Structure 1
Amino acid sequence: MTLRQSRFVSGRTLLAVLAALGSLTGAALAGASPVGAVPAGGAAEGTRIAPGVVHRQFGVQAAKGPTYVHVLDVDLRNPRVRLDLLYPGATAARATVSQLADAQGAVAGVNGDFFHLTETQHPGVPVTGASVGPVIRRGTALKAAVPEGQRFGPAPPPGTSTRDVVGVGADRRARLDSLVLKGSVTAAEGVLALGGLNQYALPVGSVGAFTAAWGTVSRARATCGTDTDRAAPCSTDTHEVTVRNGRLVASAGTPGSGPIAKGTTVLVGREAGARWLRKFAVGEAVRVRQRLVASASRIPYRFALGGRPLLRGGRPLPGLDDRTAAVRTAVGIADGGRRVLLLAVDGAPAYRTGLTVAEVADTMRRLGSVQAFSLDGGGSSTLVARAPGASTVSVRNHPSGGVERPVPNGIGVFYGD
């Protein structure tokens, strides 16, 4: 099903099917078949996108009314199936999920992390489009997490943080974890712990590193707000230096913009961090080191991106919102990390009642997930997949805005060598 095809089940038809099947919560969701399976012009077992990758779609009777969901069932036990990051080549850039999937050769995918979408508190400061949490692609760390007070999206469950990720390790198993930035800047003035990596917001008093992975967008937003208040004024005490091949080559008073060459790192400081950078002299040796360290796993990650945990050990996290229904995207992990479920709620007007966060967690659990993770929703929720024989993906759900929203990243499903 694509946005250009009319095979989507009508609201009247879906309601009739739901009435015939009974409520799709409770016992009806507990079977081995897809949750409350509602075949839409196809068999209940779904459509095979590639060996080990199946697309399913079905109706769910939620508290706010009937809704419709799409699920990609991904079997990582197939050695030719893998997950990796979809992104537009820079962390501070956006593109639609279908554009990202086709550009990278993915057979399917969904949108990813919450991101810096608006900037009303700081007039004149550009929106970066960068995501909230850490990002790893092909084993390389691209960015770290912003401070807690600088996150975007709805309120998170208690006990979670902007450092939380869903990822796949070198062992080809998916898991939930937390990634912490460990880095330093070493110069004649001493050693300072690095406070950020390619982030749209830096901790107060810190120094953050920006590399070629950031892109061309202005780095000024990184010095706005505080660790607890995203709307706080931008800092007036900032400084930026440029390090190339281990030497300081430039020093400026305010954060700049434009491309960053390979082998070059731009250091942006605010408050105490800015005062420390002002001591640097052009030509002196400066060494910058950074890496993301996993809190739970000793297995290095090949892929990871941020969001919010929903299930751990098969149990919903306490404090999940059970009142606000919306169009949502989520990831489920089953079979010891060998099976991944990518879910997107349909945003067509007939089904836009959506699911609460608690209902998403319950749906993922009933689908067999032991761990689950919430991604960005609303107008961002998009699930794409190739039709049999197609060389490009098509949008399988209806984005709630009527068209795909450009996003900073997503989860891509790849098949092949």
Structure 2
Amino acid sequence: MSAALATLAATVLVGAAPAGAAPVWTTVAPGVTYRQYDLAAAAGTARAHVLNVDLGHGRVRLGLLYPGAVAARARLSSLADARRAVAGINGDFFNISETQHPGVPATGASVGPAIAEGRVLKGAVPVGQRFGPELPPGTGTEAVVGVDTGGRARVDSLSLSGSVSALGRRLTLRGLNQYALPENSIGAFTSDWGGVARTRAVCGTDTDRAAPCATRTYEVTVRRGQVVSASARPGSGAVAAGTTVLLGREAGAARLRTLRVGERVTVRYGLDSASSAAYRFAVGGYPVLAGGRARAGLDTRVTAVRTAVGIGAGGRRVYLFALDGAAAHRTGLTVAEVAAALRALGATEGFSLDGGGSTTLVTRAPGAARVTVRNRPSGGAERAVPNGIGVFTR
């Protein structure tokens, strides 16, 4: 650990507690506790809000919070209340704006892969198409944090695998419910996508998010295993259950043109993990701590309000970490300082989520029917987000 990280790890100050007092954790639910405390950082004092989640407790689990569609957003408090979560934090970075492409609507869809209740929702956009700060060296948009089917939290990588098969032909699928498809590829959109137009998916390139939209596109609608329609342009509107829309750009569009209305088609897809683990839930972001050490190349200059996840005790302990956005604390932390703060909590693995105006942590007070926002969002109010991590108790 660098001298700067070691210094931060040693300067955790307890907020609203007498000098020298031990940190005070309050119980949210059996197996879930919460506290806030101050961190003396390079740019000033930051205030952290932390949930300590014991996944070894038989009544506690984590899950994905989202509005029921990939291309949709809602306030974290509303998402938590709708699912009866006792606590939660915001999730992945997302397609928040489209100023470079006039007339093309921002989708609100997240950057990385997503899994909810064991069901694959989406794949990762190309690295050059992501929204958010610069990634640490050696990381990409396929990185996730989640909980596997054995109940252990993990940091991992999920890559899309898929195909479109018709009359002995096999086309590779390189996108699933993504706001950006790789160049020359074919992507699939299902009922999980939502009603936002699919136009954004063919804009930009693998290295430049602001590049013009592709002019060579083709879209095929498959219903109950049969091609029912085709179009030269990306469409809009919700995709019905039992229906898959295949959208191609450049060479991918040319390959889709070989499919004919009435032809039988089989579409298959899944997410393959680097660790071979299967996941109950997963959400995108990027790793900052591995094996108890900060990842190489973490930013040490830019401070911001941030959200992160720490994992300890072999995946049985999870720390959901969010900074306060009040004026007195808005300078926040660097990514390197976040890694040190997670390690100081007891984490050996750490993962950064969307920050800034998105950073939100909620908990339900004992006996309350709804959650309360514990940190003060830097924008003055909750920002609508595409997803989050919910804490649930039986």
* TM-score band, normalised by shorter chain: over 0.9
For 1:18-417, what aligned pairs fall within 5 Å after superposition?
A: 29=9, 35-39=12-16, 44-188=23-167, 190-296=169-275, 298-416=276-394
Verify the 8 A CA contact 1:132 1:152 in the aligned structure 2. yes
Stretches of structure 2 that go unaligned for 5 or more consecutive residues are none
Q: What secondary structure, in the 3-state scheme, does the structure 2 residue paired with 1:273 have?
A: helix
CA-based RMSD: 1.6
Q: Deviations over 1:232-281 (max 9, x none)?
A: 11000001010011000111110111111111000000011111111211
Displacement of 1:25: 8.0
Displacement of 1:29: 4.4
TM-score between both structures, scaled by the size of structure 2: 0.96
**Aligned equivalents of 1:243, 1:175: Cα separation in 2:** 35
Displacement of 1:299: 2.7
**Aligned equivalents of 2:17, 2:174: Cα separation in 1:** 50
Which amino acid in structure 2 is aligned with residue 36 of structure 1?
L
Displacement of 1:189: 6.7
**Aligned equivalents of 1:401, 1:47: Cα separation in 2:** 27
**Aligned equivalents of 2:212, 2:166: Cα separation in 1:** 30
**Aligned equivalents of 2:167, 2:386: Cα separation in 1:** 37
**Aligned equivalents of 1:102, 1:28: Cα separation in 2:** 35
Displacement of 1:182: 0.6
Of 175-184 and 38-47, deviating more is: 38-47
Which amino acid in structure 1 is aligned with residue 79 of structure 2?
L
Q: What secondary structure, in the 3-state scheme, does the structure 2 residue paired with 1:403 have?
A: coil
Which amino acid in structure 1 is aligned with residue 16 of structure 2?
P
**Aligned equivalents of 1:225, 1:252: Cα separation in 2:** 21
Q: What secondary structure, in the 3-state scheme, does the structure 1 residue paired with 2:305 have?
A: coil
**Aligned equivalents of 2:8, 2:167: Cα separation in 1:** 67
Q: Deviations over 1:361-410 (max 9, x none)?
A: 00001111000000000000000000111111000000000000000000
Displacement of 1:28: 8.5
**Aligned equivalents of 2:183, 2:324: Cα separation in 1:** 40
Q: Deviations over 1:260-305 (max 9, x none)?
A: 1111000000011111111211111011000001012x33100001
**Aligned equivalents of 1:122, 1:329: Cα separation in 2:** 29
TM-score between both structures, scaled by the size of structure 1: 0.91
Verify the 8 A CA contact 1:171 1:299 in the aligned structure 2. no
Aligned length: 389
**Aligned equivalents of 1:219, 1:181: Cα separation in 2:** 19
Which amino acid in structure 1 is aligned with residue 27 of structure 2?
R
Verify the 8 A CA contact 1:29 1:36 in the aligned structure 2. no
Which amino acid in structure 1 is aligned with residue 206 of structure 2?
D
Displacement of 1:352: 0.7
**Aligned equivalents of 1:392, 1:162: Cα separation in 2:** 33
Stretches of structure 1 that go unaligned for 5 or more consecutive residues are 1-23
Verify the 8 A CA contact 1:52 1:75 in the aligned structure 2. yes
Verify the 8 A CA contact 1:48 1:54 in the aligned structure 2. yes
Identity of aligned residues (%): 62
Verify the 8 A CA contact 1:25 1:62 in the aligned structure 2. no
